[in-house]
Amino acid sequence: MKEFKDRRGCPRSTLDTPLIGLVQFDTYEYCSDLSSFEQASHAFYLTVCDIGEKGARVESSYDLTPVPQLLFLIFDRPNTAWKACYARAAWSRRDSTRNQYAVGLAFSAGLEDSSAVGKLLSGYPIPKPDDLQFLTATPLIRSIPENAVCRLLNSLAMKTLQSGDRLFSQGDVGDALYIIQEGKCTVQVPKDGKLCLVARLMEGDVVGEMAVLTGEPRSAHVEAETPMKLWGLGKAQFEMVSAECPDLRFFLTELVTHRFESEPLTGERAIGKYTIKNKLGKGGWSIVYHGVHKILNVPVAIKMLKHNMAMEQSFLDKFRNEAKIIARMNHRNIVRVYDIEEAFHTVFIIMEYLEGQGLDGLLARMGIIPVPQAVDLLVQICEGLAYAHEQGIVHQDIKPANIFVQAEDRVRILDFGLACPSGSEDLNMAGTIYYAAPEQLEGHQVDVRTDIYALGITAYELVTGRRPYPEDDLNELVERRLHQDVPDPCELDPGITESLRNFILKACSRNPAHRYQYIGEALSDLRPLHADLCRTSDEAALERHQVMSMFFVFREEHQLALNRLLEEFGSKVQDLGVVVKVAHFKDV
């Protein structure tokens, strides 16, 4: 080796991309009885920030100045080879904000090729050179900044499994996540008394991230299908690294979101008083599940804010806002909210479970909605919006996908996630561009007339089977929306009644002052048409009552206390206009 004596003035090159380095050294510490020394051997990765012929500047999790001599190795990526030399720490400075040390290494001699790195590291728990090439290519490690890679590598611990071994079970504490380097495993959940396969994971996949990310117990069983080699990252180490590198948490959050979206089957996961059964669908920022109340066994829809959205405080606030807005509404044409729960580091809105289909699905199946049916649907949407507007709420995203059609064409308005007080400025251009009013596109204040415009576009689509403007070029769509009136729907279907045509054209006026000024005006124009075209039984169908039964199984000594509870309960529900009937069965 070529030895160095004078290192001052030796040129160094600052690296655009930090390199991966490695140090190995021995330390000597007194035994507990102070009679002799004990030798301890250390090896860990560090980040090489710049390097020259006679030294390097590195970032390390430890202060290396007390070490008299260490073996320094650096990975030469272009040549996929390691170079090594002996060195010492000439200086060290601690960065308290990142809990890292900037260390200046002085080389004792020049760097030379080293082929014995794997053998050198054989007794250490950190990844070996072959492992390093695999790990640095995984999406998880590529998701974090280069200067944080070594810190993560030092936190990994290898684990091996044989076929049939269980990595963890549903309900276990989520103390680590794992990167699969070799082999395959199955993810299974108990459902209806048997284990159901949810996913099969293999090389490069991450497993166990959900429990580490959310702090909840494991949601599934994971078993090795073949012999496996994995690298575990403990929860404490994950919290430490992700505090410095939020991108790591964001990557795992995206992964959790993707799995929630793509897996049709889910374990019966408890969300407060409710149990998730299976996935119903997904939207831009939420996933909807079918669930049941644990005690009452009442079916519910459970709307979960996607985990990647839950990281954004603005989305989290909007989602909570939706629950609060709908929870205070009570109208037959607006979906009901029962509860709100927070778990798994996100928010769940518990809503009534609806059977039927979205208006967008009905439109896709039928192509064009017959005028009598379209008028009936529009009247119900107007009635729901009239109620919301009376509460001072503008929906902001009226479109077929947010209208649910139940049996006998009973309508429910969904998704108040973008709702806001009337007169608010819509600076984020919320809503769907194909139905957005000109004032929304320009970021101006929105009011009830914004919903009326979207309703007009929806009406146009229902009776013609298409929206009014070409949509190949969104810029052109916006220009037409701002500067051209909607075309006459009768040009596509001359059979559209004159009153419905006038309703559509007025609702879709570019100037809000020329539209209906409130939804009651629109209803005044639609109701005569509704009376002429629609069945007289529709109103009665909308007023149909529902019946709920509840059974109490009790002993005789409970009768008096139960009577008091029933009297109190009966009094409260009668105040709501609900009729209570009680039947008593003796000696069951």
On the question of pLDDT at 588 being above 80, the answer is no
Say which CATH topology domain 139-262 has.
Jelly Rolls (2.60.120)
Q: Which of 158-172, 285-299, 426-440, 508-522 is least confident?
A: 426-440
Find which of 98-102, 186-190, 244-248, 503-507 is predicted with most confidence, using mean pLDDT: 503-507
pLDDT of residue 516: 96
Say which CATH topology domain 12-124 has.
Thrombin, subunit H (2.40.10)
Token readout for 76 is 């030469």
pLDDT of residue 133: 84
Q: Torsion angle of alpha carbons 267, 233, 285, 143, nearest 10°?
A: -140
* Domains 139-262 and 357-542 in one fold: no
CA 12 to chain centre: 45
CA 124 to chain centre: 38
State percent of the chain over pLDDT 70: 81
Give the residue ranges of DSSP H helices in 65-195.
Answer: 117-120, 129-135, 139-142, 146-155
**Predicted confidence (pLDDT) per residue in 57-83, tens digit:** 999 988 999 988 999 988 876 677 788
Q: Which of 126-130, 269-273, 486-490 is least confident?
A: 269-273
On the question of pLDDT at 293 being above 80, the answer is yes
Mean pLDDT score of the chain: 82
On the question of pLDDT at 189 being above 70, the answer is yes
Instruction: Write the DSSP string, 535-581.
Output: -THHHHHHT------------GGGHHHHHHHHHHHHHHHHHTT----
pLDDT of residue 445: 86
The CA distance from 534 to 529, in Å, is 8
Token readout for 217 is 């117990």
User: Domain 270-352 in CATH: superfamily?
Assistant: Phosphorylase Kinase; domain 1 (3.30.200.20)
pLDDT of residue 35: 45
* CATH code of the domain occupying 357-542: 1.10.510.10
pLDDT of residue 420: 46
Q: What are phi and psi of 187, to 5 degrees?
A: -110, 120
What is the DSSP-derived secondary structure letter of residue 52? Answer: E
Going by pLDDT thresholds of 50, 70 and 90, the confidence category of residue 499 is: very high
Token readout for 173 is 């504490």
**Predicted confidence (pLDDT) per residue in 407-460, tens digit:** 889 999 988 755 444 444 443 434 478 999 999 888 888 899 999 999 999 999
SS3 content of the chain, % helix, strand, coil (to 5): 35, 30, 35
pLDDT of residue 344: 72
- More confident of the two residues 263 and 333: 333
On the question of pLDDT at 138 being above 70, the answer is yes
- More confident of the two residues 206 and 583: 206
Q: What are phi and psi of 372, to 5 degrees?
A: -60, -45
pLDDT of residue 303: 85
On the question of pLDDT at 384 being above 80, the answer is yes
State percent of the chain over pLDDT 90: 37
- More confident of the two residues 445 and 3: 445
pLDDT of residue 560: 67
On the question of pLDDT at 541 being above 50, the answer is no
The CA distance from 248 to 240, in Å, is 11
For 290-313, what is the mean pLDDT?
Answer: 81
**Predicted confidence (pLDDT) per residue in 5-49, tens digit:** 554 455 556 677 888 998 988 865 544 444 444 556 788 899 999
**Predicted confidence (pLDDT) per residue in 216-274, tens digit:** 888 889 999 999 999 999 998 888 888 777 777 777 777 776 766 666 555 566 778 88
Q: How far is CA 53 from CA 18, 64, 76, 81, in A?
A: 17, 20, 14, 17
210 contacts 344 by C-beta, under 8 angstroms: yes
Token readout for 247 is 């991108």
Going by pLDDT thresholds of 50, 70 and 90, the confidence category of residue 545 is: low
On the question of pLDDT at 559 being above 80, the answer is no
pLDDT of residue 30: 44
pLDDT of residue 583: 61
- More confident of the two residues 545 and 90: 90
What residue ranges do the domains of the chain occupy? 12-124, 139-262, 270-352, 357-542
Token readout for 250 is 């964001």
